[in-house]
Structure 1
Amino acid sequence: MSTDGARTYVRRMTFPVRIGVQLQPQHADYAQIRDAVRRAEDLGVDVIFNWDHFFPLSGDPDGKHFECWTMLAAWAEQTERVEIGALVTCNSYRNPELLADMARTVDHISGGRLILGIGAGWFEKDYDEFGYEFGTAGSRIADLADALPRIKARWAASNPAPTREIPILIGGGGERKTLRVVAEHAHAWHSFGDAPTLTRKSAILDEHGAAVGRDTATLVERSVAVSAPPAEQAAAFLDAGATLLTVGTSGPDYDLSLAAQWVAWRDAQR
């Protein structure tokens, strides 16, 4: 599938450029997390994410940490404008029907601002400590592929139904299996890596899209993490087709200075 400038331009025109912040729920008291959510929304970000783990991923491995979905419900009440979600939910930790109902409930609490970010799972300590079967990368991706139709079916059967078609964001970069699942089910795909990696894997995603009959170039938003100022990363990621750019920050302080630079850059594009 072509990755020339015309194809990239279509993607960039299909989705508005948005800035996210991932407030990593580690090494902080909840009051500090709540304050960071307030500051992030006031700053003007478009999406506030957390993540779905049970232990910190950096720093003290047994440091302070909080659960993802109970937190998202609190954020749904606290915030007014931003979309919220996990970057990303681990499919292994909840029955798909239960997860669907949790997502539908948070969708209603938030007035239709939930993004269901989801992935196959990878952090073995979570599995071991909480009693989940770790399996293999292949079995976890297969479970994700099986779960997504079940989630959609539960939404369709729910009363009340979700307030909108809840956007599904899938994180992961496996070229043969994960990107196939993205092509079949996702509204957005979160890529891990630099702009050349995004460009190359976007082309593979579009090939999967052609195989399953979806125009993923125009139907699947490209999402990526950014870790440097816009002057260093923005042009390359835009040229690669990314339109959702997310800054990660950890507790206890939740420094939003880099996110502020990206918000200012976004506003200058409009």
Structure 2
Amino acid sequence: MATDPRPARLAVQVQPQHAEYAELRRLASSFEEMGVDVILNWDHFFPLNGDPDGLHFECWTMLAALAESTERVEIGPLVSCNSYRNPHLLADMARTVDHISGGRLLFGIGSGWAERDYTEYGYEFGTAGSRLDDLAAALPVIKDRWSRLNPPPTREVPVMVGGGGERKTLRIVAEHATIWHGFGDVETLVRKNRVLDEWCARVGRDPREIERSTGVAPTPGRAPEQVADYAAAAQALHEIGIRLFTVGWNPAEDRDPGKVRDLVSWRDEVNGRRP
């Protein structure tokens, strides 16, 4: 893809697991004070690692609370599961959080994958293909409902679609998303960026309209005593067109915010180099 003139942005995914809500709220406020651009959570009903029955909180009610307790950062799910809510209801929930936050909602959505969430909460798991078909059908409904709500959203809500399937997911991204959140190493993301560009050409969309996003995984230092270098990992991703960088924060394991501070500094440096 062509060089993206957008500035680099940094998100922290505060995992809503293994902590009381007061701690999650404190973390979100702390990261906002550090200067991150976006605070994300996820849409599951049970922890994804550690004790599978440990402390865990629901996505959208947490986002509504964070909309009140933060002031500047965008907030959103990485990503909301399309299967768990009627698309009209989900649109209304998202619109409400958008207003509570003063127009800071980033609407992440995906087709779902965590089978335990489905079975314990009574949703039909289906197949990966059927869930993607449901997502493709729901997105136009969500956008139409936004246009008919009173009041409507405060702005054109950014829609982030997560996933990397080249036959269905990237087509959905090309048709509906303003942000694509992909997964994989640099080589994988280069290929999937190219496939997404091809889907944009097929559906008549300018691929430059879609911001590219992924998680930042650390690269090992050259010597055993060196710490993992998040900034180097982010730089490699930036060079292939990624502009929204997400680092995860597990309240049960993460204690040192150095990785976040390093990425804030890297973001400011790389943005300062823009023409």
TM-score, normalization by structure 1: 0.94
Distance 1:254 1:110, change over 3 A: farther
Residue 253 of structure 1, CA deviation: 6.1
In structure 2, the gaps of 5 or more residues are: 219-228
Matches within 5 A, 1:253-264: 254-255=254-255, 256-264=257-265
Distance in 2, matches of 1:79 and 1:254, equals 21
Matches within 5 A, 1:140-159: 140-159=131-150
The equivalent residue for 1:27 is 18
Distance in 2, matches of 1:186 and 1:234, equals 23
1:180-205 Cα distance to aligned partner (Å, 9 max, x none)? 00000000000111111111100000
TM-score, normalization by structure 2: 0.93
1:136-174 Cα distance to aligned partner (Å, 9 max, x none)? 000000000000000000000010011000000000000
Distance in 2, matches of 1:66 and 1:253, equals 17
The alignment partner of 2:243 has SS state of: strand
Q: RMSD of aligned C-alpha atoms?
A: 1.0
Give the one of 10, 15, 18 matched to 2:9.
Answer: 18
Residue 257 of structure 1, CA deviation: 2.2
Distance in 2, matches of 1:34 and 1:268, equals 28
Aligned partners of 2:231 and 2:263 also within 8 Å = no
The equivalent residue for 1:96 is 87
Aligned partners of 2:111 and 2:132 also within 8 Å = yes
The alignment partner of 1:264 has SS state of: helix
1:84-107 Cα distance to aligned partner (Å, 9 max, x none)? 000000000000000000000000
Aligned partners of 2:181 and 2:212 also within 8 Å = yes
Residue 231 of structure 1, CA deviation: 4.0
Residue 230 of structure 1, CA deviation: 3.5
The alignment partner of 1:224 has SS state of: strand
The alignment partner of 1:64 has SS state of: coil
Distance in 2, matches of 1:67 and 1:101, equals 17
Residue 235 of structure 1, CA deviation: 2.5
The equivalent residue for 1:225 is 215
The alignment partner of 2:214 has SS state of: strand
Aligned partners of 1:36 and 1:254 also within 8 Å = no
Matches within 5 A, 1:29-108: 29-108=20-99
Distance in 1, matches of 2:92 and 2:123, equals 21
In structure 1, the gaps of 5 or more residues are: none
Instruction: Count the aligned residue pairs.
Output: 260
1:1-36 Cα distance to aligned partner (Å, 9 max, x none)? xx5xxx2x1x2x1x2100000000000011110110
The equivalent residue for 1:113 is 104
The equivalent residue for 2:223 is none
